[in-house]
Structure 1
Amino acid sequence: MPSLAVAAIWPAAFFYFQDEERRPQRPEEASLYAVRQRIGSVRHWHELLRELFLQPASRDVRLVALAGILSLSSLEILTTALCLAVEEDSHMAAMVALLQPHIGSARPSVGLVADTLGSLLTGSVEESPSYLLATGTAARTGLLRRINESAPLCDQQLGIPAPLTYSLRGIFQPWPGTRFASRAEPETVPETLTREARAHASALSETSRCHLVIRSPSPREAEMAAVQVCRALGRRPVFARAASIPLEGFGLYCTLERLVPVFVLETAPGVVVPLPSAPGYSGPVLALAGPDGAVQSDENEVYQWRTPLPGPEERRRLWLKMVEDPVLAQSLAASHLQGTDRIRSLGTLARMKARVNGRFQVQSQDVRRAAFQVGGLETLAQPVPEEIPEKALILTESTRKTLEMLEARCRHREDLPHHLGVTLEASYRTGVRALFVGPSGTGKTLAASWLATRLGFALYRVDLAAVMSKYVGETEKNLSALLAAAEEADVILLFDEADSLFGKRTEVRDANDRFANAQTNYLLQRLEHYRGIVLLTSNSRARMDASFSRRIDLVVEFPAPGPEERRALWKSHLGDAHDLQPGDVNLLAAHADLCGGHIRNAVLAAAVRALEQGRRVQWRDVLEGLRLEYAKLGRQIPAELLGAPRGGSFEREPQINTNERE
């Protein structure tokens, strides 16, 4: 039985050899004449068409099935078959080129098909076959495309997107620019996610005019959710970035290969992103998006699904599989609110870290250090990997108690609502926001590192220079990317000198004021829904926007240190490599009214001076360091320090007069 391609070119052969006296002179004409002789008459040709549509040859089965789905006309079916044939068969290509010498192409033109096939087919096609080829279903869905649209319509060539030529012949080839997900092991997918995915898949199968947008701060978690939805639908997902793939024919490709198109969208605050259409595809469409921005479709309704976080028990099982330590797994699951993919990545890197250090057992510090290895934040925030021990943080008793309360709040941020009333439980969010207020150098940043060390979290300091932008909307876009990445990683974000971002909104006098206020509004709203831990530092609470106070869970005051704290600071910074007597340290604490940051600088300067001379730190080195530090502050070093006797004149540590000041 001949193929549809032979039936498609027969009308051209019929008209070419309509004069019975004409005989082939060239090989192409001989091939065309053989086709003409194969089918006796127009009546026989129509009978053959009906037979080929009902019982197609094996190579045409997919095309006929697709034609039934799309309700293609006979003209569109035969034209598609002809276009397929010239891509595969050199003899067919030579015959088509022979029939249109003025075009000089082997691909059939609109005019050739209209004048040959269109002349023999009856019905509505007879009225305007060229119009049908240019605007019909095959053209709208991308099955047939006009290659040189600048030429007159009759001379425009017809073709099929290359991936569709393979699909129509039953040969699987990935669509350009798309990818397929790696198959996740079923046991690594949390039951919570699987259950919700099945529910959404069931709803999609029963609702024909609704698309599903999967939102998550983690692109991989969103992809995992999409895979589970498609698995429940009995189909395979194909992931595509709408801006980077040719969409013409993509819907047909998904139909032929029984795939679910999953569009990866780049959303941003205040931006409406259109969901691409897929003509020729009538099944469910999925999209992956971040937490911000809006997604809309001109054709169907859009349903939003925010992926759930694995529950404590699910996280415990995931951690146990990675660290193989029940106690550590329980501790990590209780404090770290992370998704499946993040746990898998951290666990893998933590095991690597343990092996590098010569251990087979993963420890909590391995997990914390591994958190700095997982990318996603480095372009907008700087890692602060220092681990601060308990003794390194010198604070007043009141400040320390508030910090310990903040630590407890962070540890219990997930299970806290279970112990509260219905109103709080209904509106509770797991995010923790704290403001550290105090003069420069009082230990606010050090306290943030201490808290991260105690909790076993990675700490990232926000790079305001990278986040802030002079272009409208870019700052909000950067902040959205930063918060989404931090939320996925469940790290602590530190906004140092947060006044520049969270400062008071001003009266709108020009466009700059309006945009600055818009940035503050976005930040305040986004932080309210942020589920991670955010620390902000400021030299003065009065500089912060009034609306920000309501959104803060705890304010930690860092006052300037008193004599007792200053003595502890001097001891902590000096260590043991010095020749100062206890009385010397007491004098420094009593009269050098500096904060911890300034004491640090003075000790560093003294240490440099002593090292240059190859000895231990002495009193005169400390005085020189103090002189430099006071000079930076525009002040004179206290006279009590300059005239004090040296050399161990105090045999024991005297009581400090806390009322003594410069």
Structure 2
Amino acid sequence: MTAPQGGESADTGTGTASDAQDSSAAHSTSDHIPARPLRDRLAAQRERVAALVRERSADDPTADDPLRGLYLSKDAVQHLLEKSGPEREDSAERVVVARSAPLGPADRLAGLAARMGLTDLEATILLLALAPDLDRDFEQLYGYLNNDVSRRRATVGLVLDVCGLPALDATARDLFHPTAPLSWLGLVRVEEPDAPFLGRTLRVPDRLAAHLIGNDTPDAALEGHVRALRPSPAGAGDSLTGKLAKPLAQPDPPVIYLRERREGDGLACAAAALTAAGRPALHLTTAAETRSRETGEQRDSGDEQSSGGTHTHSPVQQLLLEARLRGSAIVVYPLPEQPADLIRSLDAGDVPVILIGATPYDPQWCDPDPLVLDAPSSTSDTVGLWAAALGVESAQDLGFDLAGTVATYRLGGDRIRRAAHSALDLAALDDTDVTAEHLRLAARQQSASGLERHARRIMPAVGWNDLVLPKAPLEHLHELAQRARHRERVLGDWQLSAGGGRGRGVLAMFAGESGTGKTLSAEVIAADLGLDLYVVQLSSVVDKYVGETEKNLERIFSEADRTDAVLLFDEADAVFGKRSDVKDAHDRYANLESAYLLQRLESFSGIALLTTNLRANIDDAFTRRLDLVVDFPFPDEDQRLALWRHSLAHVPCADDIDPAPCARDFELAGGSIRSAVVTAAYAAATRGGSVTSDDLLVGARREYRKAGRLVVGDAGW
């Protein structure tokens, strides 16, 4: 880690000052500055500046020059000197009382010097550079000492004179070097690199001045890009959390990279470790990083100028200053795609930095390497995390089954906290206690993803009562839902995963004729799990160019891996078809596509359902990797009658309506029966009446003809 030249320049410079003719308490090398009100410190420095002004104005040959008003006249100087007596303190006190606000806490400057390891001399230089921003009288005094009424800030030469440091002393000049503590830490900026060294202006950032007088409002440049990280006791007992607390509390903490498996786990671990270390933290979002990257040229320019004696502050440097003023750590999450420049900018050596991401660490990011660790998963006590986030001591304090409600969601620790907060807001909006439905809705919002670019989103609005199926497939569907609900416990906690990098996904295939309820069953499964259903659009996946189909599928699988949703491949035989003998280049590339899918399904950790009308067309290798294959038989007469009645449940019907003849005479699947009822409903709505048996007969005949089958009464029958 890079560190400023704190010890050498400050101590040597102080030694030089002690040999100078003006020996002062400001040259003390004590490590702690006694706590004093900032007003008293300014008054003491003003007396020293006033003494220098008296010395220079006593024999000033231009004191009686009538043109000297362009800068300061002797009378003006005398007026300033007269204001430095006891009556000025009374006047200042009256002003302070009139404003009913003190200048700031007594120990702000002392605390800042102690945290940043400043000597008394460096703290004095900081105060001299800051003085014109706090007391306007210093502007005129500095203008006189600079021999230029327009130069109302402290300069390098002015500060050296006030502190009694020789201008030709190399160690004294090193106090203003870019690598010296004052410049390195961003406390004092040395401006005007083209000016002579002694005439260069010293400026203190406005944020630092505001901090010293008691204002803790963050820098406006960081607004919207940085937020305070909430303390979190979650995971406080975790072994990794305890290990991280110690280095984070050190004055020279390492850079830490937490790689998370599930989004939100890394942020929860970082918050818990920082809480245990007693450090507040600032959370740098991608937006702030992007802005800093956009101003990278400005930062590079500032680095070049710093060799000449100035320092251009980018948003990242302002963030470092804010962290130093607060004694905070910096948490970067999510990590940008190209984080090298950002990491190098943040690696200052004195501010704890925690990087969080899902990608493996790249040694090209920085040198030396950070402390690379895997963030612990929050799945071990998910129910406890949800209960704590909801503000209850136990899940039993809620009026519903919390464990069953949240079992299907794989949210990380921070995502759980945010989802719980949203659920509480939804409950407050409804003026009720939080319910399972509030939790499901909030959890789905946290799982919002980019899947809609490749798949059609369906918000399920059906339930198990909407399925009319034989006992066997219905039991298989219930089993599928239970597999999705308990996979983390069985495959993770009970260690029944096959290993070899295999994921914890749930894969199933629904096989049956068109209209037998395959897609509806997928929607019912998603509704039961409290998840959204995404139907993959084959038009956005299949590409005529070699390799593009695999890339599109990889985007879908990767997004589904990090999203709590049910992924549906409708008409899956178009993608998961059988491999064939290689007779030409087309067969070779088609087989490569199937091989990719076989490998990708092995590592998939989401929920994927495949539907097909032609099970024989699905490659046997795909079938072996499936958890369940559910066959949807064509409905018999009793099931068809149940389907007719279910479709008519919400339709106004005539008193004598009887769908039994249609169920007996027309062998239609559930989808066709629903279409026939829709046709009958439109006929009834057109004449303004109720659906009759004749309407049902017309609809059934139309569906029969659509299927290419003959109906009694048709020509040629």
TM-score where L is the length of structure 2: 0.64
Deviation readout 1:193-224 (Å, 9 max, x if unpaired) = x55422332355589444143636444x5444
Worse-superposed segment, 400-409 or 2-11: 2-11
Q: Select the residue among 125, 140, 152 that pairs with 1:94.
A: 140
- Please tell me whether residue 314 in structure 1 is matched to residue 384 in structure 2: yes
Task: Kindly state the Cα deviation for residue 618 of structure 1 after the two structures are TM-superposed.
Answer: 3.7
Match of 1:49 in 2: none
Worse-superposed segment, 164-173 or 458-467: 458-467
Worse-superposed segment, 558-567 or 541-550: 541-550
SS in 2 for 1:447: helix
Matches of 2:423 and 2:647, distance apart in 1: 32
Match of 1:395 in 2: 469
- Please tell me whether residue 305 in structure 1 is matched to residue 350 in structure 2: no
Match of 2:281 in 1: 237
Identify unmatched segments of 5+ residues in structure 1: 39-56, 508-512, 645-661
Deviation readout 1:294-323 (Å, 9 max, x if unpaired) = 574344414233242242663685576467
Q: Select the residue among 239, 250, 260 that pairs with 1:215.
A: 260
Match of 2:91 in 1: none
Match of 2:517 in 1: 443
Matches of 1:99 and 1:354, distance apart in 2: 66
Identify unmatched segments of 5+ residues in structure 2: 1-24, 26-40, 84-105, 293-314, 583-587
- Please tell me whether residue 23 in structure 1 is matched to residue 63 in structure 2: yes
Q: How many positions carry a matched residue from both structures? A: 594
Matches of 1:234 and 1:118, distance apart in 2: 41
Match of 2:660 in 1: 582
2:267/2:413 contact within 8 Å kept: no
Match of 2:309 in 1: none
Task: Kindly state the Cα deviation for residue 166 of structure 1 after the two structures are TM-superposed.
Answer: 3.2
* Matched letter for residue 596 of structure 1: G
- Please tell me whether residue 179 in structure 1 is matched to residue 221 in structure 2: no
Match of 1:52 in 2: none
Matches of 1:229 and 1:329, distance apart in 2: 27
Matches of 1:641 and 1:561, distance apart in 2: 25
Match of 1:142 in 2: 186
Deviation readout 1:251-296 (Å, 9 max, x if unpaired) = 344234321122233446x98785353365524311343x357574
SS in 1 for 2:331: strand
Give aligned-pair identity as a percent. Answer: 24
- Please tell me whether residue 384 in structure 1 is matched to residue 433 in structure 2: no
* Matched letter for residue 643 of structure 2: L
* Matched letter for residue 110 of structure 2: V
Q: Select the residue among 261, 272, 280 that pairs with 1:228.
A: 272
Return closer, same or farther for 1:305/1:445 CA change in 2, 3 Å cut-off.
Answer: same
Return closer, same or farther for 1:465/1:302 CA change in 2, 3 Å cut-off.
Answer: farther
SS in 2 for 1:179: strand
- Please tell me whether residue 277 in structure 1 is matched to residue 349 in structure 2: no
* Matched letter for residue 87 of structure 1: D
Return closer, same or farther for 1:66/1:7 CA change in 2, 3 Å cut-off.
Answer: farther
* Matched letter for residue 128 of structure 2: L
Match of 1:68 in 2: 117
Return closer, same or farther for 1:414/1:522 CA change in 2, 3 Å cut-off.
Answer: same
Return closer, same or farther for 1:271/1:492 CA change in 2, 3 Å cut-off.
Answer: farther
Return closer, same or farther for 1:58/1:196 CA change in 2, 3 Å cut-off.
Answer: closer
Task: Kindly state the Cα deviation for residue 598 of structure 1 after the two structures are TM-superposed.
Answer: 3.1
Matches of 1:385 and 1:465, distance apart in 2: 21
* Matched letter for residue 181 of structure 1: L
- Please tell me whether residue 625 in structure 1 is matched to residue 699 in structure 2: yes
1:271/1:294 contact within 8 Å kept: no
2:508/2:629 contact within 8 Å kept: yes
Task: Kindly state the Cα deviation for residue 481 of structure 1 after the two structures are TM-superposed.
Answer: 6.0
Task: Kindly state the Cα deviation for residue 87 of structure 1 after the two structures are TM-superposed.
Answer: 1.9
SS in 2 for 1:572: helix
Return closer, same or farther for 1:518/1:135 CA change in 2, 3 Å cut-off.
Answer: farther
Matches of 1:300 and 1:14, distance apart in 2: 56
Task: Kindly state the Cα deviation for residue 452 of structure 1 after the two structures are TM-superposed.
Answer: 3.4
- Correspondences of 1:128-207 after superposition (within 5 Å): 133-134=177-178, 136-145=180-189, 157-168=201-212, 171-175=215-219, 176-177=222-223, 178-183=226-231, 186=233, 189=234, 195-202=239-246, 204=248
Match of 2:354 in 1: 286
Matches of 2:123 and 2:552, distance apart in 1: 49
Matches of 1:468 and 1:156, distance apart in 2: 63
SS in 2 for 1:211: strand
SS in 2 for 1:405: helix
* Matched letter for residue 603 of structure 2: E
Return closer, same or farther for 1:201/1:441 CA change in 2, 3 Å cut-off.
Answer: farther
Deviation readout 1:141-187 (Å, 9 max, x if unpaired) = 433335667x6676864423322233456653434333223455x5x
Task: Kindly state the Cα deviation for residue 447 of structure 1 after the two structures are TM-superposed.
Answer: 0.6
* Matched letter for residue 661 of structure 2: G
Task: Kindly state the Cα deviation for residue 606 of structure 1 after the two structures are TM-superposed.
Answer: 1.4
* Matched letter for residue 569 of structure 1: L
Task: Kindly state the Cα deviation for residue 236 of structure 1 after the two structures are TM-superposed.
Answer: 1.3
Task: Kindly state the Cα deviation for residue 339 of structure 1 after the two structures are TM-superposed.
Answer: 5.4
Matches of 2:128 and 2:595, distance apart in 1: 61
Return closer, same or farther for 1:564/1:572 CA change in 2, 3 Å cut-off.
Answer: same
Return closer, same or farther for 1:409/1:618 CA change in 2, 3 Å cut-off.
Answer: same
SS in 2 for 1:414: helix
Return closer, same or farther for 1:9/1:120 CA change in 2, 3 Å cut-off.
Answer: farther
Matches of 1:266 and 1:467, distance apart in 2: 29
Match of 2:488 in 1: 414
RMSD: 5.6
* Matched letter for residue 387 of structure 1: V
Deviation readout 1:542-572 (Å, 9 max, x if unpaired) = 8889986676433434465566654543343
Task: Kindly state the Cα deviation for residue 605 of structure 1 after the two structures are TM-superposed.
Answer: 1.5
Deviation readout 1:434-484 (Å, 9 max, x if unpaired) = 3445555332221122223444x23332686999899x9999778756653
Match of 2:711 in 1: 639
SS in 2 for 1:174: coil
- Correspondences of 1:313-332 after superposition (within 5 Å): 314=384, 318=388, 321=394, 324-325=397-398, 328-332=401-405
